[in-house]
Amino acid sequence: MSAHLHSLPPASGAAMDRPLPRRKYQRPLRWGGAALGLLGLGALLFTSLPRGLSVPAAELSLSTVAEGEFLDELSLRAQVVPAHQVLLDATEGGRVDAVLVRDGEMLKAGALLYRLSNPQREQEVLQRSAEVAQQLANLSGQRTGLANARALQRRDLSNLAHEAERANTDLKRQQELAAQGFVSAAVLEDARLKQALQQRLLEQAREDGAAEMRTREQAIGELERAVRGLSEGLALVRQAAAGLSARAPRDGQLSGFALQVGGSVKPGDRLGRIDDIASFKLVGNVDEFYLNRLQTGLRASLDIASKTWPLTVTQRLPQVKEGRFGVEMEFTQGLPPGLQAGQSLDARIRLGQPSRARLIADGAFYADSGGAWVYVLNAKGSQAERRNVRLGRRAAGRIEVLDGLAPGERVVVSKVRQYGDAALLNLQN
C-alpha cells in the first residue's frame, strides 16, 4: 500500500478550479465611478478657486447711489483774461532798428513801439515821388499852354469881331449911299459879301477855339486824374513806410512782446498784444458732452471773496479739440476785487432748473463705458459685478441714474478701460 501511495501523482487542486462567468456591467461601472470622482474634484476646485479679475481695492474710486437734488449746472475751471485785446501784427517787413518799449509795460495810445528799416520801401517812396513830380510838371505845362491858347484865341476873336463890325458898318453906309444913288449896285454887293465873310470867319474862329479849349481841358483832366492816382499810390507807399515805425493803437498793457534789435520781421508776424486791464472776462474748456446744451445767454456764477458774482455766457467756440470746446463768460454786475490776468477760478454755468433724482458721482468710467454699464459692489464689498444701467444728465459732478441702480449701492467711478470685458472684479485689500 505504501508503494501504491508513492506511485500516485502529487495533488495540485487544479481539478477543483473552474472559471466564473464575466459580469455584463462591471467595466462601465468602474468608468462611471471615476468620472463622478473627477466631477466632484472639479466642483471642489471651482468653488475653492477665485473667479473674475483680481483688482487692488485701493485703486478704485467708489460712489454710493443716493437720492438728492440734481443741480443742472456745469462746473469748470476758467481763466481770467482781459475783456478786450488788440493784437499787434507786423504790417511791414524789415530789420529791427530800435525797440522802445518792454513787455508788460503800460502804454498810452500813440506810443512808439519800434522802428524798422527797409531799403526797398525807401526806394519805392523816392521813385513814386519822382513820378508824381514829373507828372505835376507836365500838368503845369499843359495848364500854361491852355492859358496861352485862351489868350491868343481872345486876341484873334477880338480882331475878327472888329473886322466883322467894320464890314457891317461899311455895309450900312453903302446901303445908305446906294439908296441915294451915289454908289452902284456892284459896290453895294461887294460890301455885303465882305460883311458876310467877316461874320463867317468870326463864327468859325469861335467854334474852332471852343473845340480846341475842350480838347486841351480834356487832356488836362486826364493828366490831373493820373496825378491823383500817382499821389494816392505815393500816399500808400508813404503809409507803408510809416508802418516801419509802429505805434500803440490804444491804452493798455503790452503782453507777449519780444522784439530784439537786429532781428527780422515779416509782414503778418504776431508781435504781441495790448490788453485792456480795466475789464476782464473768463474763458474755459468744456467737455464736448455739453456741446448741444450749452448756448450763449446762459447764466453763470463765480464764488470769490465771500460773494457770488453773476456772469453770462457770451460766446461758445464749437471747434472741438481733444474732446473739449471753448466758452467765454462776462461779468454782468461789476468785477470782483483783485482779479489778475491769468488767474484760474472755479465757475458754474446753469443749464436748467434743479430737480429731485437718483444720483452717483461723475467719474472717468463714463468715457470708458459710454454710460451704458458700471461695476456694482456686492454687500461684502469683496466683488464688483458688471451691470447694464441707464444714465441721464451729467452736471455739477453728478450723474442722473434712470434705471439699473438702487439707492445705497456702491459703484466704481474710476477708469474701467484697463479691466477689458471682465464681468467680475475681485477686490483685494
- Domain assignments of the chain as residue spans, ordered by start: 53-72+356-428, 74-83+279-351, 85-116+244-273, 120-242
Closest CA to 360 of 349, 369, 348, 350: 369
Residue 6 has a pLDDT of 47
Cβ atoms < 10 Å from Cβ of 45: 9
Rounded alpha-carbon distances, angstroms, from residue 343 to 14, 75, 332, 334 = 112, 17, 19, 17
- Helices 185-242 and 119-180, packing angle to 10 deg: 170
d(CA 248, CA 302): 33
Q: What's the chain's Rg over C-alpha atoms?
A: 55
Answer for the pair 73, 229: CB distance below 8 angstroms, yes or no: no
d(CA 351, CA 293): 7
| Domain 74-83+279-351 = CATH 2.40.30.170 | yes
Q: 3-class DSSP state for residue 330? A: strand
Residue 139 grid cell:
500838368
Residue 349 has a pLDDT of 86
d(CA 127, CA 231): 12
CATH of region 53-72+356-428: 2.40.420
Residue 49 has a pLDDT of 44
Rounded alpha-carbon distances, angstroms, from residue 330 to 78, 338, 395 = 12, 16, 21
Candidates 3.40.190.10, 3.40.50.150, 3.20.20.330, 2.40.50.100; CATH matching 85-116+244-273:
2.40.50.100
pTM, two decimal places: 0.47
Opening angle at CA 420, ends 415 and 422, nearest 5:
105
Residue 105 grid cell:
509795460
Rounded alpha-carbon distances, angstroms, from residue 127 to 132, 141, 237 = 9, 21, 10
* pLDDT tens across the length of the chain (429 residues): 444 444 555 555 555 555 555 555 555 555 665 666 666 665 555 444 446 788 888 888 999 999 988 887 888 889 988 888 888 888 778 888 888 888 888 889 888 888 887 777 777 778 888 888 888 888 888 888 888 988 998 898 899 899 989 989 988 988 888 888 888 888 888 888 998 998 999 899 889 888 988 988 898 888 888 888 888 888 877 776 666 778 888 888 888 888 888 888 888 888 888 888 778 899 999 888 888 888 899 899 888 878 888 999 999 888 888 889 999 999 988 888 888 888 888 888 888 888 888 999 988 888 888 888 999 999 888 899 999 999 988 877 889 899 999 999 999 999 888 888 888 999 888
Order of all β-strands in the sheet with 398-403: 66-70, 355-361, 398-403, 390-395
